[in-house]
Structure 1
């Protein structure tokens, strides 16, 4: 989803980029529009407005439920910090 969103918004094919810094990747990722695949998914997962939720498709409701269920069973905060650090290192290695 990240790759398709970068292509959609910026015209960048991440799998063909050899020299993007972590700082640039991070800045571009933070600027992803709600109109991209990733942006739409984030909106579905984060939506709390009951009126908007009523208009969700069955697929959108299923994704939101799956996400909320996975978040409810997540690891504790200290483990989450460690996992986030690992994820950042992985992206930094991939785009440094």
Structure 2
């Protein structure tokens, strides 16, 4: 998807082009919504209820898969935070 987006927007074939990492990052951050990657990012980040109503099944799946993944990540982060608090509590209690 990244490769297709670079070809679409910049005409650059990443596998055939030598590029510094910082240049790649700069170009990647400028990817527009009309590219394959830009479309997915737009779908994932959409919050407007009226726009969400117009999503087709494929767009809904992209958005739901992303939201599910993000929810799992938050849960893992919350678990890590809780474990750190618990460790700190035991350190205080038992030296």
Q: CA deviation at 1:3?
A: 0.3
Residues 13-52 of structure 1: matches in 2 within 5 Å? 13-17=13-17, 19-52=18-51
Q: CA deviation at 1:68?
A: 0.2
- How many residue pairs match? The answer is 77
Structure with higher helix content: 2
CA distance in 2, matches of 1:37, 1:24: 20
Q: CA deviation at 1:43?
A: 0.3
Q: CA deviation at 1:52?
A: 0.2
Which protein, 1 or 2, shows the higher relative CO under an 8 Å CA cutoff with sep ≥ 6? 1
Name the residue aligned to 1:69. 68
Q: Name the SS for the 1:6 alignment partner.
A: helix
When Rg is computed on C-alpha atoms for both structures, the one with the higher figure is 2
Q: CA deviation at 1:76?
A: 2.2
Deviations, residues 18-42 of structure 1 (Å, cap 9, x unaligned) = x200111011001101110000000
Q: Please, which runs of 5 or more residues in structure 1 have no aligned partner?
A: 80-96
TM-score w.r.t. structure 1 length? 0.76
